[in-house]
Each structure stands twice: as structure tokens, then as C-alpha cells.
Chain A
């Protein structure tokens, strides 16, 4: 950056524009609603008058003589035929009308009151005091004045003014015209303005009723020429055209002495146009529309909301050196890498400042031109532009590359294309936590998509159903260093939210390692080699010899990716709920996963061991060996998992949910029993014999009872079904290992779908007294209120299907509502917290240095470095120490 700050803002004053001020600012009085003549030349005194600025090349500004990029644009003005109120000041006008006398214009306070309040207001200066405090005081005073119904100064009886939104004022039902309002505001003496928080030096209340309208420069509302040669005007220009037209017609009607009714209609129309010119979303009036039916974007709409000037152009900006494309998985990349398509890599550049040390290598890059490849056709980084010390950019082409490479000297900047090993930032929206943007090293790959390791899906919350992600090329050495040291994926493995790993194996990784280690199966040497060929291990598994042939245990194969010296003992997810002996393991010792010196001895690897959030092995490796080793483990672990599951094969289908005939009939019995019990409950209730539960009404009690019957029936049928679906069933494997789905989902498929609910209660809305016309009014039985007896496998009948859709919709609505609401909450939190910092004393301060918290989190602990929020994991430390001693 050159130049620095030339002018500093000393103060900001808020004032109202007076009609005289507007006329003084104005370069031209606009009187015609037309814009261009038939030759496409701006019409004089029209909305595109040359005095208002130029946007077309070749023309010169009639005010300053500047050409297109020199003239900043100039204001014009429209003299309105009749005054109209300014929507932005409606509240203030109402306060003025309420608190001042309709006859003499004084504030309706006694002289004594005025004297005492004036003293208070004089004690503060309008320009330096807290505007909020002035506002509160002014509100108190004006409220008091508004209460008075007889003027203390002239004794005139007052009439309540009612605001008929958005812009009409009425007194006893009779409209007060803007002209009358203006006259009343004019009568308010300067000295009384202070009580309204108005500075008499710069503002008069009657200026809130417009007689002159400022016309913004053309630069603010440029017209665009379509390919057809047709000119399309800006929304603001359209609105101004309307205003001038109506103003003219109003003036003519008034001068011709047209009937009062017509004049009033035109006046209202003028008010409408001026109101929508300011804000086209004013409550109470229909938005002004374009001929196509699209609502016009007027002044307020330009500023407000997500697409407004502030959030879209000032707080957020478009950036260079970035790319966006679809993402897809690549298990052979490290978690620290990102695959960038060649096409993107050729466009994205890193600036190299030439010095005596890199001169040779940089010249070599330039010599290669903009699209070099090696002898095998592999991508090599080229150069798109070179920048001379004076800032001139020179495009490098295959033709001029050789010559340009010789011109490059120390002090030049060369924009080199992306190459392997470059550090880049990778991001997926919504960026809800810091792991939403992490640093990766580049791998240039063929294809059109960004690719990354599946373990990194969790922090980005990404999947591959069409998700897109953004890539930013870091441009400065300091930034690259920071990205490498703190933003790299391996540095972000530990989540600051819960102090455990947020990166780990997912879906098939978990299934695969579960199958590899559960019951410790044996594999032939061939199988082992196939599996290990996916990994890049430091060790190879130990063989066991049987019948003269070498075999390998699943746990030993897994141990090949564990670092030496790792000692760990924990209960697997599979056995988490079992007490003494785990029902899923034949060896009681396998209840716990035991790893000694990097060798897995007992247990089954599942979600608890390697999953994101829970992954104990990842957690401990990270703490004992650091980020690099943890990343290495995740890389190898995921590749091993992919290797094994592609060797073994894994699939599930509807056949996996087959259960014997007797189980099906047992489930039918269960659902019938449930129906009987529901009917009995309803009968008891109808007889008035149902005992209400403490603190509940009889109706509530009935609902709770029925819900517990239906819930019980589903659980019961789930139990019956899963009795026939053991750990050999693929779906059960996925559910038990934590790879995907819950046992509940399996019992929905094989057993019974169960009760559908909305907001925690049975379905009850739809038709009068019933959910569907197929039921009798006031039928509160099972089926009528959404008890689905069928299973997904057997299929739902039409009524069940419909009721199930009602229940399913709740989930969809919830997510939609939740995301928008939590998004807004997040925005507010970020805005409140964005400039707080923790200093070296661990106290939290804002930018001024005001203390927010004396010690971060009250204990000064970085949750990332804590053991899931605790200081130490004693059990682990003891086990680790014991093993190391041996």
C-alpha cells in the first residue's frame, strides 16, 4: 500500500437537508421525466442531464468537464408540486405532532418544566454526549408533553393525532395533509427543538416534510445497454420518472382548479412514489413493481440485508487467487493434502519476488512459459505474468517466454502457477467453526474436482453429493508460515469444542477395521499383501505359521499402522454397555481394546477407537507423539481400512432383513397386543376411570400412556427381529461398530416402524377431529393417530405412508428453521466476539483493553489441550507408565 491515510475523520455530524441546501447542492432542476432523445443523447433538464455526471465514454460532464472516470457525478433536484412526508422520519414527525401545540407550536410543557428540563439538556452537549442517553431523556420529556391535552401556553384544546401507517396522519378521522403538517412543524420555535434531540443549528422539523427532492448522480443509477441495443434504466431512475410525472400532473390539476378529489388522489400517488423511492418494503403499502412484476430495488433495499451494500460489498468482498469447484474423495491423499485440478492450478498463482538466491530458478520457471509439461506429459508449474518493479504486468506466452526469462532481474515479481507442496487454504461454507477453513498442501491431479481424504469430511461437514468448496492461495510468506504452523489439517485434529479429535475414520473405515479386528481373524499371506499394498507402513505384521503356511492375524495387520510405544486400554463401543463379559466377544479379554507397545492384543476396533469425536487411539497418538504422527496414523489407518474392505467386500441388501415366519407372526402379535392395550386405555379414559399422573391432566396422561405402549411395542418387535439378525448381518455390523445407523433403524426395517409424532406427541391435526377423512371424528385410536404397525420391509399401507410422511416432514422443517436461526445467532455472536483477544496473562480483553474475563474460561485452559475438558486422563497415564516400565 502506498500513500497511507491522507485524511482522517475528525467528527461526524447528523443533520437534515433543508430545501435551500438541496437547491444549493443541485446542479440542475430536473423537470422532464424523459431520459434520452431519439438519438440516444441525454435530454436537457431530464433525469440523465449531462450536469448530473457522465457514464458514457466520449461525453463530458456539463458541470465539471470531467470524462467518464474523472467525474464523480453531481446531484440534481426535483421541485415537488405539493409537499410529501419522508417515510424515514415518520416516527419523529409523530412525536413532534404529539408533543407540540397544534395552534401555537410550542412544546406542551409549562414554563417551569421547560426551565428545569432545559437545564438538564444544557448540561450535555448534543455533539459529544451519548446519543442513547439524549434519546432516553428526550423520550421522557416528549412523552410527558404528549400527555397534555390543553396547551399550557395558549390554552387551546388539543386533538390526538393518529398515525395511519405508513404515512397518513389523522385527527379525529380527518386526514391531515402533508402541507398542514409542514405548517405545524414550521410553527415550532427553534428553542423547543432541543427537547426532541434536534440540533437547531442544523435541523428544522419541517424539513422532514419534503418540498424538494434530491436527485442522485447518474453514477449512482447508471443505465445499462442490452445486447439488443435497448437501454435499460436503473430502478431508481424508474422511480424518479414516476415521481416527476405525478408531480407534473398534480401541478397541472392544481393550477387548472381540478376537483379536490382528483388532486387528493394525485397527491396520495405522489406520496406513494416518494415513499417507495426511499423504501420499497414499507409495511402497509404494496411494493412498486417493474413491468415484469419484479419489485423495484430502491434506496433502502440497496443498503439493507444480506445482499445490501453493507453485508455484501463492505463487510464482505470478492477475492482473487481463489477457486471453487465440486469436491470428490481420494483415499490415497494424506489428510494434509488437497487435490487441485490442473485447469485450476494453471490459473492460480503464487508471487515470487526475485532475489539473488532464487534468480536462476525463477528464470527457469519463466522460460517454461505458461503451460509446461515434463517429458511424460506431467504438469509442471509455469508463469502467467511477470511484474516489473514499476508495477507493469507482462503476460508470458509460449512465444515470449524465453525472451522474458532473460528480462527478469532482482526486484521483479513472477507469478508462478500452483505446484505440488504449495500451501493453500481450503474452505467449505457455512464456516461455522475454525476447522471450516484449514491449510492443505497441494497435489496437482487430473480431473475437474478438488479432492481430499475422507477423514477430513467431518470438520468441513462435507459430503460428495455435489458439494463445492473454495480454495485460496496464500500470497505472503508470513501468511504461508502461519498457515503451515497453525492452520494445517494436522494441527486442527483436536477440536476446541470438546478437547478430543474431530478427524477420524468414517463409515467404511470403521466397518472395515471392525471386521479386521473382531474375533481376530486369520488371513493368508496373499490376502495380507493385498491389504498392506494400500498402506505405506513402517512395519510389517508378524506371521503365525500353521501347517507350514504363514498366516496373519487381523489385529497384527492393524498393529502395522500403530506407532511403536503406544500403550492403551479402553472399552470398545461394541462392549460399552456390557458388564462382566461382552456378549459379542467369545474371549472375555476382548471386552477391552488393549494395545501394548504399538501392538494390538485384545478387543475390537470400532467408532470409539478411530471415529471422529470419540477416536481414543487418534487422541492418544496426538498427545504422545504430536500432530505429524497423528496425521500419519490417520492416513495409514484409512488406507488400511480401504484396502481391507476392498479385499473382503461389504454390502447389504433387503435380504439381510429376512426374519423367519414365526418372528413375523410374533411381531404381528406384539402390534395387535399394543392396539388392544391402546383401545383399553381409551375405553378407561372414556369411562372417566383413567387416573391422571401427578401434575398432568387426564388427556395428557392418556397420551403418555399410549406413547409408552407404542414405544414398547416398537422396542419389543425390534428385539424379536434383531434376535435373528446377529453380528454377521452387515447392517448390524454397521450399527454396532458405529459406522452408520442405529439398531433402531434396523428394527424399523425388519420389525415395526412404530408411532409417528409431531412435536413429541401423536399426530392429531389435519381434518376436523381426525388426521384423515378415512377415520371417524374423534377416533383417537392407534392407527388414526399415526401408529404404523408395518415395517419398511413389509411396506406401509397408504394411510400409514401418509401419516409417516407427516412425521418425516417435522424433521425437514426443523432443519430448515434451525439452520436459519442458528445462522443468525452465530452472526450476532461473531460480531460481538470478533475483536476479543486472550493475552499472555490469559485474560480476555477487547480492543480498548477492557477486561471481559479475568482468565479465559475462568481456568485459563485451552480446551484443545485438555483431555476432553479434564486436566489429565489418569487411567491412561498409569497404564502407559506401567507398560513403559516393563
Chain B
């Protein structure tokens, strides 16, 4: 069986790696400090799938998630890669 890419699954929202240069701009737009953003574990299958494309991701990189939303159609969400273990 070939390797399965979670990002291609219908129920997994789009995950994009945010360009390091763009991060500041987005933070300014959102008007929050980076450490207050929601987190994503580096063990998350979506992060692993992104690493397949972009190579290893450091902690602190920003991931942009585009989800289907019942209220606005598409909504964007940002998460910061962390090494913390989530249960």
C-alpha cells in the first residue's frame, strides 16, 4: 500500500505552511502575540504530511488552516507548531 497523505482526505481541512516572512504581517493583522496563537503538535499527522513537502519544520512555525465553515463558507485558522505532547 502506498503512503497515505492525510491532507488529501476529504474530511481533513487544508493545511498550509506560512512563509516565515509573512508571519509578522499575519500577526499584525490578527493583533496577537505569536505565543498566544493556538498550537499544533509536531506529531500531528497534518504537520508530518507538511514535512513531507517542506522538509523538517521547526517549533514556532506558523500553519494556516482553511476549513469549511457553516457560517462563512471558508474560514482561516492559524496554529503554531510545538513540541508539546497533546493527549
A140 to chain B, nearest CB (A): 12
B82 to chain A, nearest CB (A): 12
Query: Do B69 and A858 touch (CB < 8 A)?
Result: yes
Which of A841, A851, A855, A859 makes the CB contact (< 8 A) with B38? A851
Q: Does A694 contact B (CB under 8 A)?
A: no
Cα(A849)–Cα(B36), bound, Å: 6
Query: Do A859 and B72 touch (CB < 8 A)?
Result: yes
Contacts of A855 in B (CB 8 A): 75
B61 to chain A, nearest CB (A): 17
Query: Do A858 and B36 touch (CB < 8 A)?
Result: no
Cα(A852)–Cα(B36), bound, Å: 9
Cα(A600)–Cα(B78), bound, Å: 52
B33 to chain A, nearest CB (A): 8
Query: Do A850 and B36 touch (CB < 8 A)?
Result: yes
Q: Does B30 contact A (CB under 8 A)?
A: yes
Query: Do B71 and A858 touch (CB < 8 A)?
Result: yes
Q: Does A829 contact B (CB under 8 A)?
A: no
Q: Does B24 contact A (CB under 8 A)?
A: no
A498 to chain B, nearest CB (A): 14
* Minimum CB distance partner of B33 in chain A: A849
Contacts of B85 in A (CB 8 A): 133, 136
Contacts of B76 in A (CB 8 A): 854
Cα(A858)–Cα(B78), bound, Å: 13
Q: Does A654 contact B (CB under 8 A)?
A: no
Cα(A593)–Cα(B85), bound, Å: 60
Q: Does A857 contact B (CB under 8 A)?
A: yes
B56 to chain A, nearest CB (A): 22
Query: Do B71 and A861 touch (CB < 8 A)?
Result: yes
Contact mask B43-87 → A, CB, 8 Å, 1/0? Answer: 000000000000000000000000001011001111000000100
A858/B72 contact (C-beta < 8 A), A136-B85, A841-B31, A851-B32 known: yes
Q: Does A848 contact B (CB under 8 A)?
A: yes
Contacts of B69 in A (CB 8 A): 858-859
A interface residues, how many (CB within 8 angstroms): 16
Interface centre among A845, A857, A861 (most CB of B within 10 A): A857
Contact mask A813-855 → B, CB, 8 Å, 1/0? Answer: 0000000000000000000000000000101010011111011
Contacts of A859 in B (CB 8 A): 69, 71-72
**Number of contacts between A and B (CB, 8 Å)?**
34
Query: Do B31 and A857 touch (CB < 8 A)?
Result: no
Contacts of B32 in A (CB 8 A): 843, 849, 851
Contacts of A850 in B (CB 8 A): 36-38
Cα(A849)–Cα(B30), bound, Å: 13
Contacts of B30 in A (CB 8 A): 843, 851, 854
* Minimum CB distance partner of A849 in chain B: B36
A853 to chain B, nearest CB (A): 8
Which of B31, B33, B37, B75 makes the CB contact (< 8 A) with A858? B75
Contacts of B38 in A (CB 8 A): 850-852
Cα(A269)–Cα(B22), bound, Å: 70
Cα(A861)–Cα(B76), bound, Å: 16
Interface positions of A from 852 to 876, Cβ below 8 Å from B: 852, 854-855, 857-859, 861
B58 to chain A, nearest CB (A): 20
Contact mask A378-411 → B, CB, 8 Å, 1/0? Answer: 0000000000000000000000000000000000
Query: Do A851 and B36 touch (CB < 8 A)?
Result: yes
* Minimum CB distance partner of A136 in chain B: B85
Query: Do A851 and B72 touch (CB < 8 A)?
Result: no
Query: Do B72 and A854 touch (CB < 8 A)?
Result: no
Query: Do B77 and A854 touch (CB < 8 A)?
Result: yes
Cα(A689)–Cα(B34), bound, Å: 69
* Minimum CB distance partner of A845 in chain B: B36
Contacts of A841 in B (CB 8 A): 31
Cα(A854)–Cα(B64), bound, Å: 12
* Minimum CB distance partner of B78 in chain A: A854
Interface centre among B30, B71, B72, B85 (most CB of A within 10 A): B71
A851/B37 contact (C-beta < 8 A), A136-B85, A858-B71 known: yes
Task: Report 16 cross-chain contacts, Cβ distance below 8 Å, ordered by A residue.
Answer: A841-B31, A843-B30, A845-B36, A849-B32, A849-B33, A850-B36, A851-B38, A854-B30, A854-B75, A854-B76, A854-B77, A854-B78, A858-B71, A858-B72, A859-B71, A861-B71
Further 7 A-B residue pairs, CB within 8 A, beyond A845-B36, A854-B30: A136-B85, A851-B32, A852-B38, A854-B78, A857-B71, A858-B69, A861-B71
- Report which B residues bind A (CB closer than 8 A): 30-33, 36-38, 69, 71-72, 75-78, 85
* 9 A-B pairs with the lowest CB-CB distances in the bound complex, closest first: A859-B71, A858-B75, A859-B72, A858-B69, A858-B71, A850-B36, A849-B36, A858-B72, A857-B71
